Amino acid sequence: MATSVSQKASGINDISQISPAVRQWVDEVAKLTRPDRIYWCDGSAEEYRRLVQELVARNELLPLNAEEFPNCFLARSNPNDVARVEHLTFICTPSKEDAGPNNNWIDPKEARARMRSLFDGCMRGRTLYVVPYCMGPIDSPYSRCGVEITDSGYVAVNMMLMTRTGRPTLERIARESTSKDKPFVRGLHSIGELDPNRRFIMHYPQDLAIESFGSGYGGNALLGKKCHALRIASWQARTEGWLAEHMLIVGLTNPQGEKHYIAAAFPSACGKTNLAMLIPPGSMPGWKVETVGDDIAWLHPGPDGRLWAINPEAGYFGVVPGTNRDTNRNAFDMIKRDTLFTNVALTADKQPWWEGRKKLEPVIDWKGQPFDPKNGPAAHPNSRFTVSARNNPIYSPHADDAQGVPISALVFGGRRREVAPLVYESRDWNHGVLVGASVASETTAAAVGQAGVVRRDPMAMLPFCGYNFGDYWAHWLNVGSKLSKPPRIYHVNWFRRDAQGRFLWPGFGDNLRVIEWMLKRSAGTATAETTPIGNLPRAQDLNIQGLQISDADLKELLTVDAKLWREELKSIGEYLRGYGARLPAKLTEEHRKTLELLDKA
Ligand code: GTP
Ligand code: SPV
Ligand code: MN
């Protein structure tokens, strides 16, 4: 297929090998956006190095101290473009009801027309990069492919770290692009003018298409991540009988050599990466932890009646602030090489610096200005690292298994100063769905808007579910009914505080103590106290050997305040009723049951 623009700079010289469906789409987009050049990414290591060098030459990437941080670079985004923009993110289904009260909605025809005028001629003077990618292990039947077209070289190199690109992906797309059940997702992205008034992230689940304009940051721009692997995939998952979730996946081997995997959903910047890369405390010898994924899980009911998970991603786009040798040495070691940093500060000798990095001093802030504490933190609170999962010292050898890994427990959690205890276990799957639907958490810097405000974030999917939450909970209940060996469902809160604002729980590595209790529950070897909200460990049920914690703090962490919980259940009930007729009766029933138990307490 001939395009009117130069193909010379391509990583792929012979585009006749590319699937005609992809070529035709690229051709259509080029006619609309008018790039000077089209560059087809081949996904090779050589190409990554070359594209990075081009960005360095254009001052879009800054090389960092090569002794301390070899092959690491810094990118600074526009200060108006530092996080996800939920108010500018839309699900475009023909019926507003299908998007649900949990989403912003625009009619797809109107959205297409609006985006068409934004994309018209927007790539003049720029290069159009074609990034074919595969979400999930390349040979897994559960994986799905996509193609992102972008005019940002930064996005292209980030996608090369975050997803599986390269020859095998191109071949899989060529094989599948003509099939009805696995067509590739079409993601069109332009940074536009980075004008917040001309910024939209549109999703067309029925067309398996994404259009993003006006932002170059994170989930707004790396379309394989939240746009494809959660919003579009959750829609596909519903029609196909699986789940696309905002969950980490981690493997845990206990001192007896028994191995289990758990998947956990916490809202943005609430501890998924850290739990996925957990380092056991010194007082828990013999435990082994391996990361399968840190942000997204695709879960399938297996033929054995268990739930199986793959991680669709191949890299991490992780929160930088707070990462250090004490909180997460694995992550700290991982980002010391081959890493792209976005919006961190700099030391005098060009090392990246962020709040929580011990030693050294910031000299230049994330905006590139001389650091002055009067202007706020040196690194942006949502500054991020992008790094290949292969750099993770505890990357699981099973992360590439085509069938995924079997899940023994599902965990929901949030960031709450009060109300939610350290951990509780749901009565069964259906009650667990209520527990997930009731997740509330303090907002964080991961999205634009005020941080620290408690809001409902069901299953940590509020910004990411591509359809009506009422239908989504019905789907969860339905998936559970297909599992003869469903995982138990838990709720955790690492973020309880006292009146002075001090965290009551040490968190990080010590979270393994809570996980140990969960795994023992599954094995039938740990006891619990039955409460109206679920089953809680008593102080003696938790392994606190070697832990510095006062009895009073531990008691506080494991207490269910009936009065506070009656209020909580009332607020949950009001929230759920907002979904009207789409709210499954079984969920109302679980809510009623809990309320009844509380009234009796
Ligand atoms: P997204 O990538 O936005 O989805 O975030 P995430 O859920 O992966 O969050 P992450 O693990 O990056 O943690 C976000 C912040 O919470 C970091 O600053 C961490 O240092 C901090 N954090 C993580 N785990 C804990 C914990 O157990 N206790 C406390 N107090 N802080 C934690
Ligand atoms: C999140 O906000 O949950 C993230 C970062 O993981 S982003 O990719 O920007 O969505
Ligand atoms: Mn996330």
Report pLDDT for 155: 98
Ligand 3 geometric centre to CA of 396 (Å): 20
597 pLDDT band (50/70/90 cuts)? very high
Ligand 1 geometric centre to CA of 382 (Å): 11
Report pLDDT for 585: 98
pLDDT tens readout for residues 537-592 = 999 999 999 999 999 999 999 999 999 999 999 999 999 999 999 999 999 999 99
Calpha distance 347→365 (Å, rounded): 9
Catalytic annotation, residues = 270
Pocket of ligand 2 contains residue 218 by CB under 6 Å: yes
> What's the predicted TM-score (pTM) here?
0.97
Residue 103, judged by CB atoms within 10 A of its CB (0-12, 13-18, 19+), counts as buried
Which amino acid residue places its CA nearest to atom 24 of ligand 1?
Answer: 271
Mean pLDDT estimate for the chain? 96
Task: Look at the chain and count its residues.
Answer: 601
SS3 of 372, please? Answer: coil
Report pLDDT for 10: 65
Pocket of ligand 2 contains residue 268 by CB under 6 Å: yes
Helix (H) or strand (E) holding 259: strand 259-265
Report pLDDT for 83: 97
Ligand that comes closest to the CA of residue 248: 1
Look at residue 5 and tell me whether its pLDDT is greater than 60: no
pLDDT tens readout for residues 125-143 = 999 999 999 999 999 999 9
Which amino acid residue places its CA nearest to atom 1 of ligand 2?
Answer: 268
Report pLDDT for 158: 98
174 backbone dihedrals φ, ψ, rounded to 5°:
-60, -40
183 pLDDT band (50/70/90 cuts)? confident
Report pLDDT for 4: 42
Ligand 1 geometric centre to CA of 272 (Å): 6
Report pLDDT for 549: 97
Report pLDDT for 167: 86
308 pLDDT band (50/70/90 cuts)? very high
SS3 of 109, please? Answer: helix
Look at residue 370 and tell me whether its pLDDT is greater than 80: yes
* 91-120 average pLDDT score: 98
pLDDT tens readout for residues 415-437 = 999 999 999 999 999 999 999 99
Which amino acid residue places its CA nearest to atom 6 of ligand 2?
Answer: 268
Ligand 3 geometric centre to CA of 296 (Å): 7
Calpha distance 270→249 (Å, rounded): 15
Mutate to test the pocket of ligand 2, among 225, 273, 382 (most ligand atoms within 8 A of CB): 225
Calpha distance 277→481 (Å, rounded): 31
2 pLDDT band (50/70/90 cuts)? very low
Ligand that comes closest to the CA of residue 86: 2
Calpha distance 61→54 (Å, rounded): 9
| 331, 274 Cβ separation under 8 angstroms | yes
Dihedral angle sign, alpha carbons of residues 151, 153, 158, 163: positive
